[in-house]
């Protein structure tokens, strides 16, 4: 039997487009023979389904799941090629089931998640492959994560039917019922204003230095005297941090307060300390470059075919 190396698995995946776990399993089944493995993948329909994997999947859904006591939370994004499929009830049910699995799973890597049981007859990876073949377009579990830190109450918010999902973790001795309204208000803030950091303590010093360099150059280009540039830059940097740090932002439901002030006031009202320690925001397709299709050209190509 030939050794099943990571390089060999990678090669098979590149040649067939099949999933990493499927490639590894089939290579084991064929004693490391890549050509035989390709045949087996085709026979199982895995390579056929995988051909669709080259197509851009930038639509889809985000789902969040939380335990009733708020001590555990999970968020997942599953992509499809079209919004039409994202609204398909079978797709919605599929993503819902995956969110349930992600909440109960102890696997946080893609390969481990793919190997988990979807139901009594198939794994998550097998269900995904079969679903791709049934739906007829690429479906991709893009990312997911689970949070269950001790002493933290988790609250979630889903916007736009699943276009944006947010999880907020509040470190507090208060029960989740006591902080649900507060948590949802902050989660809505994160959904709408998309802060990069919870507060200034989270800001990477390298990010600050880079921003300072840019702002200094902007001020010099505006012809400002060097002796006042430093003060100007500090002011502009402070303004920028107010826009990018959650607790510094103006509270969307009451512009007279910052989010930090709203949090502080709410904590006093509840009578227990509350601190935001987790902020997770998923937006469907963010960072994916969507392919622009020319419909007339596509029809013409099909007619020629």
pLDDT value of residue 289: 65
pLDDT value of residue 305: 46
Residue 44 scores a pLDDT above 60: yes
Token reading at 283: 């937006």
User: Rounded mean pLDDT of 146-171?
Assistant: 97
Percent of the chain with pLDDT over 70: 91
Placement of tokens 């736009």 in the chain = 160
Give the residue among 191, 193, 199, 148 at the shortest CA–CA distance from 169: 148
Residue ranges per structural domain of the chain: 6-54, 56-148, 200-265
Q: What is the pTM of this model?
A: 0.75
The rounded distance, in Å, linking the Cα atoms of 45 and 301 is 26
Residue 169 scores a pLDDT above 70: yes
pLDDT band at 58 (very low <50, low <70, confident <90, very high): confident
Give the residue among 301, 294, 298, 291 at the shortest CA–CA distance from 58: 291
Q: Which of 81-85, 241-245, 293-297 has the lowest mean pLDDT?
A: 293-297
Pick the CATH number of 6-54 from 3.30.70.380, 3.90.1300.10, 3.90.1200.10, 1.10.8.10: 1.10.8.10
Higher pLDDT, 282 or 231: 282
User: Rounded mean pLDDT of 129-157?
Assistant: 93
The rounded distance, in Å, linking the Cα atoms of 37 and 165 is 39
Residue 52 scores a pLDDT above 80: no
pLDDT value of residue 295: 46
Pick the CATH number of 56-148 from 3.30.479.20, 3.90.850.10, 3.40.50.620, 3.40.225.10: 3.30.479.20
Give per-residue pLDDT as tens, 188-243: 999 999 999 999 888 888 888 888 888 888 788 888 887 787 788 888 888 888 88
Give per-residue pLDDT as tens, 244-264: 999 999 999 999 999 999 999
Give the residue among 170, 150, 200, 175 at the shortest CA–CA distance from 263: 170
User: Rounded mean pLDDT of 8-22?
Assistant: 79
Q: Which CATH architecture has domain 200-265?
A: Orthogonal Bundle (1.10)
Residue 110 scores a pLDDT above 50: yes
Residue 285 scores a pLDDT above 80: yes
The rounded distance, in Å, linking the Cα atoms of 255 and 267 is 19
User: Rounded mean pLDDT of 270-289?
Assistant: 93
Higher pLDDT, 108 or 29: 29
């Amino acid at each position: 039997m030939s050794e099943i190396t990571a390089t060999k698995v990678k090669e098979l995946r590149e040649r067939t487009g099949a999933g990493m776990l499927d490639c590894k399993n089939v290579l084991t089944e064929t004693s490391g023979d890549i050509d035989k493995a390709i045949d087996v993948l085709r026979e199982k329909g895995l390579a056929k389904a995988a051909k669709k994997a080259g197509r851009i999947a930038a639509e889809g859904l985000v789902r969040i799941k939380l335990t009733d006591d708020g001590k555990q939370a999970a968020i997942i994004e599953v992509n499809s090629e079209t919004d039409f499929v994202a609204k398909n009830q079978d797709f919605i049910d599929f993503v819902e089931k995956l969110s349930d699995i992600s909440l109960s799973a102890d696997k946080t890597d893609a390969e481990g998640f793919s190997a988990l049981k979807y139901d009594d007859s198939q794994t998550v990876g097998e269900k995904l492959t079969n679903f791709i073949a049934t739906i007829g377009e690429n479906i991709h579990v893009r990312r997911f994560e689970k949070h269950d830190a001790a002493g933290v109450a988790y609250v979630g918010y889903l916007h736009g039917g699943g276009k944006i999902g947010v999880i907020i973790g509040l470190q507090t001795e208060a029960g989740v019922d006591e902080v649900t309204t507060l948590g949802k208000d902050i989660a809505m803030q994160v959904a709408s204003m998309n802060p990069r950091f919870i507060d200034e303590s989270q800001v990477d010093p390298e990010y600050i230095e880079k921003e300072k360099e840019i702002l200094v150059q902007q001020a010099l280009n505006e012809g400002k005297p060097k002796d006042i540039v430093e003060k100007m830059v500090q002011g502009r940097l402070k303004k920028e941090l107010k826009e990018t740090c959650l607790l510094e932002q103006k509270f969307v439901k009451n512009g007279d307060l910052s989010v930090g002030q709203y949090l502080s006031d709410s904590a006093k009202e509840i009578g227990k300390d509350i601190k935001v320690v987790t902020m997770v925001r998923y937006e469907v397709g963010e960072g994916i470059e969507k392919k622009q299709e020319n419909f007339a050209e596509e029809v013409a190509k099909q007619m020629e075919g």
